[in-house]
Amino acid sequence: MRSGATLYREGIMNGALLIVDASLSPCDGSLLVCRVDGEMRIKRYRKVPKPHLEDVETGRKEPLPNHDDDLTGPAAVFGVITYVVNDARSGEFDDCPVM
């Protein structure tokens, strides 16, 4: 998949290549691709104090989708983001540029 927005805290630039594995189970802190109101969104999975999703932009806690309606629920989990590939030409994450 390609990212449609820049999420600096997650190290994702607009247009970054996201490698998503739908067969994996998320661990605490995993980034997930979720279906929200017909759009694909990136959410963070948290286990503490109980399993929930966290909006990466606002930090707001959201409940996990029900298994009964996981295809039509408010935040159906599509897969776990395993790798993020950014375009290195932009130099956005270069903290110490070479002269």
At residue 72, does pLDDT exceed 60? no
Task: Tell me what pLDDT residue 99 has.
Answer: 45
Element (H, E) at 31: strand 31-36
CB 73 within 8 A of CB 66: yes
Distance of alpha carbon 47 from alpha carbon 86, whole angstroms: 28
Q: What is the pLDDT of residues 82-99, one digit of tens each?
A: 999 988 887 666 555 554
User: 98 is written with which tokens?
Assistant: 């070479």
DSSP symbol at 44: E
Q: What pTM did the predictor assign?
A: 0.79
Domain boundaries 8-87, corresponding CATH code:
2.10.109.10
At residue 53, does pLDDT exceed 60? yes
Which residue is associated with the tokens 């691709």?
Answer: 33
